[in-house]
Homo-oligomer: A and B are copies of this chain.
């Protein structure tokens, strides 16, 4: 079997196993998002962001929309990273232009004690229903990625009660009441593990943990308050029959200095933002895990010619090795022309084939 005989529908899973594939797989963080007019139309019908995310039919519809336009190598469940705290009863809402807010933030020992792992067949059943529906609609075309926020990132929003530049309220809890912070993070780690196992049982074929705010921590607190709990989750996923075979990708944005530590977590892949060359990231993890990334999302605002050049630069930096999942270094922004995403996806596949022929 030559390279070009390899099936295209499992490029993404092959890359995460660091196995050869016919070309480099690509998907785009937030690929089902506001840059697509068809997404905005469905969002309009749903009435609100949470109305969209909590309705399995709508969630399925927007999950599949980008696949109808672009030759993406994976679908990712349309959902939010804050579904778990919402299911814990914290009252999630999205004020226009304000980002997420919780009506009942977690501040005191009694708030933490009250938190329980949500029922995956109860409050979070809508997520599993969406996965089952998407998986059926996908019909094996490409793998389906399930995901969750990391315990640290969930805790950032739960304790602050909203978005923040530095999430100093949770940090203060970590320095001043470390036992309480660990109690909160431990509950969240158990909830995230159960959530991802349930997603696997409902049809997810790969899993991602978004540690959006891990990069706000220095090396020692990163290991203590973020990485430790992601490592626990990976171990639990590997111990459960439903999720055992699923590759897990961790993405700690801004955690360039922590890549080697992250690679020790037992994950299959690491997301990498655009502030480091993939060659250096690969050296840091010593080829032990696959890497996902890492084009600067702002480059999608440039001309098709520049986009193609920068796509090739990212791929050249990774080199002709297995284990590269092409992606942006952060989510795509609403201002991007969908035609530019097509340019990106097609260039990844074309240049990936060219690289393999060298």
Contact = CB atoms under 8 A, between A and B. Distances in A.
A169 B313 CA distance: 22
A215 B273 CA distance: 11
A315 to B, nearest CB: 14
B275 A176 contact: no
B255 A275 contact: yes
Interface of A is mostly: helix
A255 B255 CA distance: 11
Contacts of A310: 175
A294 B220 CA distance: 13
Nearest to A310: B175
B275 A219 contact: yes
Contact of A306 (B176, B215, B220, B335): B176
Contact of A257 (B215, B276, B302, B333): B276
A48 interface: no
Nearest to A299: B175
Nearest to A257: B276
B166 A275 contact: no
A177 B333 CA distance: 21
Given A254-B275, A296-B171, A176 B302 contact: yes
Given A171-B298, A298-B172, A275 B306 contact: no
Interface in A250-272: 254-257
Nearest to A175: B302
A345 to B, nearest CB: 19
A172 B302 contact: yes
Interface in A214-267: 215-222, 254-257
A352 to B, nearest CB: 20
Interface string A288-299: 000000101111
Contact of A256 (B256, B301, B302): B256
Given A168-B335, A216-B275, 13 more contacts: A171-B301, A172-B302, A175-B301, A175-B306, A176-B301, A176-B306, A218-B275, A218-B296, A219-B277, A219-B280, A220-B313, A256-B257, A256-B275
